[in-house]
């Protein structure tokens, strides 16, 4: 069943006991009594499959500490299998903590994939990978494309299948930060954006609900065809130029979550990916120009 079939009170009750949630190839078991966590899931994961499964890849629990911290400047702990890898955060960062923690679970343990730190979207059967350094505008661009008919495959972690080199979808909410939240709202007033977490270590953070079509098609892998290094620059005209494949290889390897751990296989998968893909730089300042460029890329 889909999460949307539960009312918010029903979801809160299920979440308190433990909720099975399917996100791409992974099954999470989530437990929390935090109302913001339930509200965030109800808003952003409405189209995702839930249920009681025979196994789960990750067991996650979000809970406040015991003692005075429960009442004085409340905090929230993230637990996986009774292990807490992070320092506690302010309680009103609980849903953001869940999203970051889910990313941590996958990036630290899903070594049956090559995992790149990049967004990836697909249109016309062609997957476009978007590596991005902080401030490059990757997530804003990802949101723009996802809200313009592109299939969102992932915002943060590009999963490469070790058997066939194809991209495995992981269409979870898109993390928007600071000014990009208002940019996306202005571009798509109909977009569903969850409650913002203020004053996090990344500034103000809010999450964009993934398009339903992207969620329902998460069993469909995509062939990588393009790697685009985006860069937003105020006042800049849209400009594209070739990006050397040798440099793209080094960037992919150094920004992968498990390239070194995979050893020779990591090298082979990255080389195969670069052989399949055209690599380009893209600088822009106006969203319509960016959309036109990406549409032309996969026309």
DSSP assignment string, 35-87 = HHHHHHHHHHSTTSBEE--S--SEEEEEEPPSGGGGTSS-EEEEEETTB--S-
Q: What is the pLDDT of residues 66-95, one digit of tens each?
A: 766 666 778 999 999 989 999 999 999 999
Edge to edge, what strands does the sheet with 203-208 contain? 174-177, 203-208, 197-200
Alpha helices in the chain (DSSP H): 8-17, 35-44, 94-109, 138-146, 179-187, 212-216, 245-254, 259-262, 264-276, 287-297
Q: What is the pLDDT averaged over residues 268-276?
A: 97
Does pLDDT of 134 surpass 90?
no
pLDDT at 69: 63
The pTM assigned to this predicted structure is 0.94
Q: What percentage of the chain has pLDDT greater than the value 70?
A: 98
Does pLDDT of 261 surpass 70?
yes
Task: Looking at mean pLDDT, say which of 69-73, 74-78, 132-136, 241-245 comes out highest.
Answer: 241-245
Q: What percentage of the chain has pLDDT greater than the value 90?
A: 90
How far lies 108's CA from each of 19, 79, 174, 235, 258, in Å? 22, 14, 20, 39, 8
Could you give the CA distance from residue 208 to residue 199 in angstroms, rounded to a whole number?
A: 18
CB neighbours of 179 closer than 8 A, spacing ≥ 6?
none
Confidence of residue 112 (pLDDT cuts 50, 70, 90): very high
DSSP bridge partners of 32: 62
Q: Among 52-56, 58-62, 214-218, 266-270, whose mean pLDDT is lowest?
A: 52-56
DSSP bridge partners of 31: 61
For the chain, the C-alpha Rg in angstroms (whole number) is: 19
Confidence of residue 173 (pLDDT cuts 50, 70, 90): very high
């Amino acid at each position: 069943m889909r999460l949307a079939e539960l009312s918010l009170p029903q979801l809160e009750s299920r979440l308190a006991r433990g909720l099975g949630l399917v996100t791409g190839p992974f099954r999470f078991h989530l437990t929390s009594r935090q109302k913001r966590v339930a509200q965030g899931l109800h808003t952003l994961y409405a189209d995702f499959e839930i249920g009681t499964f025979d196994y789960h890849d990750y067991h996650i629990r979000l809970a406040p500490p015991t003692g005075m911290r429960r009442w004085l400047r409340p905090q929230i702990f993230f637990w996986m299998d009774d292990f807490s890898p992070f320092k506690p955060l302010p309680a009103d960062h609980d849903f953001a903590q869940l999203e970051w923690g889910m990313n941590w679970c996958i990036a630290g343990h899903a070594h049956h994939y090559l995992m790149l730190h990049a967004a990836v979207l697909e249109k016309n059967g062609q997957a476009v990978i978007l590596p991005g350094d902080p401030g490059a505008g990757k997530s804003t661009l990802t949101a723009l494309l996802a809200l313009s008919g592109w299939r969102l495959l992932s915002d943060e972690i590009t999963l490469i299948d070790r058997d066939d080199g194809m991209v495995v979808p992981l269409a979870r909410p898109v993390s928007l930060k600071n000014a990009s939240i208002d940019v996306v709202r202005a571009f798509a007033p109909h977009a569903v954006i969850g409650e913002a977490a203020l004053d996090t270590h990344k500034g103000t953070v809010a999450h964009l609900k993934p398009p339903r079509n992207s969620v329902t098609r998460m069993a469909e892998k995509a062939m990588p065809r393009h790697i685009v290094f985006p860069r937003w620059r105020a006042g800049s005209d849209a400009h594209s130029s070739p990006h050397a494949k040798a440099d793209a290889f080094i960037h992919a390897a150094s920004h992968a979550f498990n390239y070194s751990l995979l050893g020779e296989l990591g090298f082979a998968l990255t080389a195969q990916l670069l052989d399949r893909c055209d690599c380009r730089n893209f600088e822009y300042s106006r969203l319509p120009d960016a959309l036109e460029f990406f549409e032309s890329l996969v026309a």
